Chain A
Amino acid sequence: MKEKLELLKQNATSDINNVSDEQSLLRLKSTYLGKDSQIMQVMKSMKDLTIEEKKEIGKLANEVKSFIENLVKEKMNEISSKKENKRIFDNTLPVGDEIGSLSPITIVANEVAEVLKKMGFMIVSGPEMEKEYYNFEALNIPKNHPARDMQDTYWTNLGDVLRTHTSPVQARSMETYGAPIRMAAPGRCFRNEDIDACHENTFFQIEGMVIDKEVSISNLIYVMKNILKEIYKKDIEVRLRPGFFPFVEPGFELDIKCLICGGKGCPTCKNSGWLELCPCGMIHPEVLRMGNINPDEYSGFAFGIGLTRMAMMKYKINDIRMLNSGEIRHLKQFKVK
Chain B
Amino acid sequence: MYISCNVLKKYIKDSDKIDFLNVWNDFTIRSAEIDGIEEKGKDINNVVVAKIVKLEKHKSNEKYNVLTLDIGYRKEITVVSSATNLYEGMLVPCALQGGSLKGISEVVSINLDGVESQGVLASERELGISDSHLGVMDLDKSYIVGEDIKKYIPIDDIVIEIDNKSLTNRPDMWGHYGIAREIAAITGKELLPLEIFDNIDSTKPLNIKVEDTKNCNRYSCVEIGNITKKEATMEMKVMLYYCSMRSISLLVDLTNYLMLELGQPMHAFDSKKINNIIVKNTGKEKIKFTTLDGEERNIPENTLMICDENRPVAIAGIMGGLNSEIDDDTETLILESANFDSASVRKSAVALGLRTEASARYEKSLDPNMTVLAIKRFIKLLMDVDENISINSRIEDIYTNEVKENVVELKKDYLKKYMGFTLDDKTVCDILNSLHFKVEVKDDKYIVTAPTYRSTKDITYSADIIEEIARIYGYNNLKEVPLKLDLIVREGDNKYDLEYNLKKSIALDTGFSEIHTYLWYQTELLNKYGINKEDNVKIVNKKDNNIIRDDISLSLFEQCIKNSKYYSEYGIFEIGSAITKEKEERVLSILSVCFKSNLEDKYMEIKKLIYKLISSNKNIDVKFKQYKIDKKYLNNEYTLAVFVNDDIIGYISVFDRLFAKECGKKIEIVNAELNVEKILNLNKQDIEYIEPSRYPVTTIDYTIIMDKDDLYNNLDEVLKKYNNEYLIDYKLYDVYIDDKKKVTIRFTIGSNNKTLTHDEIQEVSNKILEHIEKNNYSIVK
Contact flag A250-B466 (CB < 8 Å), given A101-B507, A101-B513, A326-B515: yes
B689 interface residue per 8 A CB criterion:
no
CA distance A205 to B222 in the complex (A): 53
- B476 in contact with A240 (CB, 8 Å): yes
Q: Mark B537-579, 1 if CB is under 8 A from A, else 0.
A: 1111110000010000000101100110011001110001101
**Cα distance, A127 to B495, chains bound together (Å):** 12
Question: Restricting to A212-263, which residues have a CB under 8 Å from any CB of B?
Answer: 212, 214-219, 221-223, 225, 239-244, 249-253
Do A144 and B346 have beta carbons less than 8 Å apart? yes
* Residues in A whose Cβ lies below 8 Å from that of B476: 239-240
Q: Is the CB of B503 within 8 A of A106?
A: yes
Partner-binding segment picked from A2-10, A31-39, A44-52, A147-155: A147-155
B516 within 8 A of A: yes
A272 to B481, CA, bound (A): 28
- Residues of B within 8 A of A (CB-CB), count: 90
The reply to whether B516 and A103 contact each other, CB–CB distance below 8 Å, is yes
Question: Min CB distance, B410 to chain A, in Å?
Answer: 12
Q: Does A93 contact B (CB under 8 A)?
A: no
Q: Within the complex, what minimum Cβ distance (angstroms) separates A324 from chain B? A: 5
The 8 Å CB contact of B514, one of A182, A214, A215, A331, is A331
Q: Does B486 contact A (CB under 8 A)?
A: yes
Q: Which of B673-727 contact A (CB under 8 A)?
A: none
Given contacts A150-B168, A222-B481, A250-B463, contact A299 B577 (CB under 8 A): no
Does A108 count as interface, using CB distance less than 8 angstroms? no
Asked if residues B486 and A299 are in contact (CB atoms below 8 Å), the reply is no
A327 at interface, CB cutoff 8 A: yes
Instruction: Give complex CA distance A61, B343 in Å.
Output: 114
A209 within 8 A of B: no
- A104-116 vs B, CB cutoff 8 Å, 1 = contact: the mask equals 0110001001000
Check if B419 sits within 8 Å of A218, measured CB to CB.
Answer: yes
Give the contacting residue for B570; candidates A147, A192, A328; CB below 8 A.
Answer: A328
A162 at the binding interface (Cβ < 8 Å): yes
In the bound complex, how far is the Cα of B276 from the Cα of A181, in angstroms?
61
Q: How far is the CB of B214 from chain A (nearest CB, A)?
A: 14
With A125-B496, A239-B475, A242-B32 in contact, is A102–B507 under 8 Å at CB? yes
Which of A97, A181, A250, A332 counts the most B-chain CB atoms under 10 A from its CB?
A: A250
Q: Contacts A100-B508, A157-B538; is A219 near B515 (CB within 8 Å)? A: no
B511 proximity list for chain A (CB < 8 A): 97-100
Residue B493 lies at the interface, judged by CB distance under 8 Å to chain A: yes
Chain A residues whose CB sits within 8 angstroms of the CB of B17 once the complex forms: none
Residues of the A chain whose Cβ atoms lie less than 8 Å from the Cβ of B466 = 249-250, 282
User: Bound state CA distance, A124 and B471, in angstroms?
Assistant: 32
**B463 close to A249 (CB less than 8 A):** yes
Q: Does A284 sit within 8 A of B, measured CB to CB?
A: yes
Interface presence of B506 (CB below 8 A): yes
B33 contact from A102, A119, A241, A284, Cβ within 8 A: A241
Pair B418/A299 contact, Cβ less than 8 Å = yes
Q: How far is the CA of A222 from the CA of B420 in the complex (A)?
A: 11
B471 touches A221 (CB 8 A): no
Inter-subunit contact B420/A216 (CB<8 Å) = yes
Q: Which residues of B contact A219 (CB under 8 A)?
A: 420, 481-483
Distance to closest chain B CB from A103 (angstroms): 5
A304: interface (CB < 8 Å): no
Instruction: Tell me which residues from 129 to 150 in chain A have a Cβ below 8 Å from any Cβ of chain B.
Output: 129, 144, 146-147, 149-150
Shortest distance in angstroms between B540's beta carbon and chain A's nearest beta carbon? 5
| Interface presence of A291 (CB below 8 A) | no
CA distance A144 to B170 in the complex (A): 17
Is A329 located at the chain interface by the 8 A CB criterion?
yes
Given A217-B478, A218-B479, A324-B518, CB of A129 within 8 Å of CB of B577 = yes
Chain A positions within 8 Å of B420 at CB level: 216-219
Partner of B480, one of A210, A225, A251: A225
Instruction: Provide the bound-state CA to CA distance between A124 and B499, in Å.
Output: 12
**Stretch with Cβ within 8 A of A (4 or more), from B23-31, B99-107, B146-154, B280-288:** B23-31
Enumerate chain B residues within 8 angstroms of A110, measured Cβ to Cβ.
500
Partner of A146, one of B170, B346, B464, B471: B346
Set of chain B residues within 8 Å of A202, measured between Cβ atoms? 516, 518-519
The 8 Å CB contact of B419, one of A190, A212, A216, A242, is A216
Q: Which of B30, B464, B576 contacts A249 (CB 8 A)?
A: B464
Residues A178-193 near B (CB distance < 8 A): 180-183, 186, 188, 190, 192
Report if B497 contacts A (CB, 8 A): yes
Q: Is B353 an interface residue (CB 8 A)?
A: no
Q: A156 with B519: in contact, given A218-B478, A241-B28 (CB under 8 Å)? A: no
Q: Evaluate whether A183 and B485 lie within 8 angstroms (CB atoms) in the complex, with A192-B541, A327-B563 already known.
A: no
Task: Flag if A336 contacts B508 (CB, 8 Å).
Answer: yes
Most chain B CB atoms below 10 A, which of A102, A113, A223: A102
Q: Given the complex, which residues of A lie within 8 Å of B559, measured CB to CB?
A: 326-327
Query: What residues of B have a CB within 8 angstroms of the CB of A222 in the complex?
Result: 480-483
List residues of chain A with CB within 8 A of the CB of B517.
324, 326
A-B contact pairs, 30 of them (CB 8 A): A99-B507, A100-B514, A106-B514, A119-B483, A123-B492, A128-B584, A129-B577, A144-B343, A188-B577, A192-B541, A202-B516, A212-B483, A218-B421, A218-B480, A218-B481, A239-B29, A240-B475, A241-B28, A241-B33, A241-B475, A242-B166, A250-B471, A253-B33, A285-B463, A327-B562, A327-B563, A327-B566, A328-B563, A336-B507, A336-B508
6 additional A-B pairs beyond A103-B515, A124-B492, A218-B479, beta carbons within 8 Å, are: A97-B511, A192-B541, A212-B486, A214-B417, A244-B170, A331-B515
Which 9 pairs, one residue from A and one from B, show the smallest C-beta to C-beta distance? A218-B420, A216-B420, A326-B559, A100-B507, A250-B467, A122-B492, A98-B511, A240-B475, A222-B480
